[in-house]
């Protein structure tokens, strides 16, 4: 029994360390970049230097948006892995990120701009694109009973290719400016100006996250198997719909602004599971923080590695993620075993 208590403490410890680290990087990383900013420019008046401006209008929003995007994508990945009990289920492998990308590309190409309740049309289109993908992929599994997760992932990959072709088509018929905008955005971009994009994305990611934190008991049970979850009293049909809604919100909100940044959603939950186990009451907040920290660090590398040239962050995450993915495939069994719980394996 002591051991169980100790386990909980170490989970809380990891959570607290990540929380402190997250706060630290949100403050510190904006100082680092092509031009390092002296601390005095921020804490000593007069606050009208170029450095002050760079810090508050470029760097801080950028760090915020990286953090939110990382958190949202990581948490979505965690939910899909739990729901489908499959280590490679992510917003990308299930075609949901492509759906969101297609929605965004259609919005950009259409050239008409609108807002609903202060939310940009681009995010709404991305959200609708994400929902469309889920309908297609999951709808198939409902129509055709006995549809396995593997088949669903394959359907996701197929839909992903299909949507990517549509995006390429849209890009091909676009004019040069739109075309460049779409290409650059498809690589994953975090170079934003001012806080507006942050305010645009935050409601999506935060709403989605709260829903997911709220359903941590249900996620635990669904990880143990759908039959088990139902017999313990989880209305899995309803919970799945809510989770699809929450993840579509997050993926849509993130992809609309940052583009489809790959691998964060797959790597982060796996590493967090190795750290603290599968109990989603801890895993969800830890994954949220880890995803945010991970993408923010990747972005810092992206903008400083070959400065003054900035590498699109999607390239960095994919460079790290590709090998990780292969490692996952090769060592799948050991991942399954280790990713169980942090407690002592006999």
Partner 1 sequence: MKEIVIKIKDFSFSIGKNNIINDISFNVNKGEYLSIVGPNGAGKSTLLKYMMRIFTGGKGTIKIAEKPLHDYKQRELSKLISYVPQANGQNVPFNVYEFVMMGRYPYLSPFQSAGKEDKYMVQKALKLTNTAKLAERLMNTLSGGERQKVFIAAALAQESKILLLDEPTTFLDPKHKDDIHALLKHINTSTGITIISITHDINSAAMTSTRVIALKDGSIVFNGLPDDFMDNDTLYKIYEKKFLFVKHPETGKSIAVTE
Closest separation in Å from C-beta 83 to partner 1: 14
Closest separation in Å from C-beta 267 to partner 1: 18
Say if residues 81 and 89 touch (Cβ distance below 8 Å): yes
Beta carbon nearer to partner 1, 165 or 340: 340
Euclidean distance between CA atoms 126 and 135, whole angstroms: 14
Dihedral, CA of residue 78, residue 206, residue 342 and residue 94, to nearest 10: 0
Say if residues 300 and 29 touch (Cβ distance below 8 Å): yes
Backbone angles phi, psi at 116, to 5 degrees: -125, 120
Tokens of 321: 């993620």
Which residues lie near partner 1 (CB under 8 A)? 1, 3-4, 85, 145, 213-217, 220-221, 223-228, 230-235, 273, 277-279, 281, 336-337, 339-341, 343-346
Closest separation in Å from C-beta 213 to partner 1: 8
Beta carbon nearer to partner 1, 111 or 346: 346
Tokens of 57: 């209008």
Beta carbon nearer to partner 1, 85 or 181: 85
Beta carbon nearer to partner 1, 111 or 233: 233
Beta carbon nearer to partner 1, 35 or 232: 232
Closest separation in Å from C-beta 111 to partner 1: 44
Closest separation in Å from C-beta 241 to partner 1: 14
SS3 of residue 201 by DSSP: helix
In 3-state terms the chain splits into helix, strand, coil percentages (rounded to 5) of 75, 0, 25
On the question of a cis peptide bond just before residue 183, with omega within 30 degrees of 0, the verdict is no
Closest separation in Å from C-beta 342 to partner 1: 10
Beta carbon nearer to partner 1, 47 or 214: 214
Scanning the structure block, which residue is given the tokens 């680092």? 32
């Amino acid at each position: 029994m002591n051991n169980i208590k100790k386990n909980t403490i170490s989970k809380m410890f990891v959570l607290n360390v990540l929380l402190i680290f997250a706060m630290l990087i949100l403050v510190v990383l904006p100082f680092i970049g092509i031009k390092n900013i002296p601390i005095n420019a921020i804490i000593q008046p007069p606050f009208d230097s170029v450095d002050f401006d760079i810090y508050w209008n470029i760097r801080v929003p950028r760090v915020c948006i990286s953090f939110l995007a990382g958190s949202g994508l990581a948490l979505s990945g965690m939910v899909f892995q739990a729901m489908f009990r499959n280590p490679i289920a992510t917003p990308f492998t299930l075609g949901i990120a492509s759906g969101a990308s297609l929605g965004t590309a259609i919005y950009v190409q259409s050239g008409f701009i609108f807002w609903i309740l202060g939310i940009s049309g681009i995010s709404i289109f991305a959200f609708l694109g994400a929902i469309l993908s889920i309908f297609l992929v999951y709808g198939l599994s409902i129509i055709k009973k006995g549809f396995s997760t593997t088949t669903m992932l394959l359907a996701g990959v197929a839909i992903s290719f299909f949507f990517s072709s549509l995006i390429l088509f849209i890009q091909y018929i676009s004019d040069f400016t739109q075309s460049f905008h779409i290409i650059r955005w498809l690589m994953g971009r975090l170079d934003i100006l001012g806080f507006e994009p942050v305010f645009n994305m935050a409601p999506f990611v935060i709403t989605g996250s709260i829903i997911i934190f709220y359903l941590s008991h249900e996620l635990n049970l669904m990880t143990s198997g759908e039959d088990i979850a139902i017999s313990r009293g989880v209305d899995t049909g309803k919970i799945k719909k809510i989770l699809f809604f929450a993840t579509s919100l997050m993926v849509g909100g993130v992809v609309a602004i940052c583009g489809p940044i790959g691998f964060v959603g797959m790597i982060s939950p796996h590493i967090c599971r190795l750290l603290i186990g599968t109990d989603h009451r801890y895993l969800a907040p830890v994954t949220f923080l880890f995803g945010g920290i991970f993408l923010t660090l990747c972005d810092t590398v992206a903008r400083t590695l070959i400065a003054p040239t900035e590498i699109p962050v999607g390239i960095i995450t994919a460079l790290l993620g590709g090998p990780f993915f292969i490692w996952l495939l090769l060592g799948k069994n050991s991942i399954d075993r280790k990713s169980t719980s942090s407690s002592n394996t006999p």
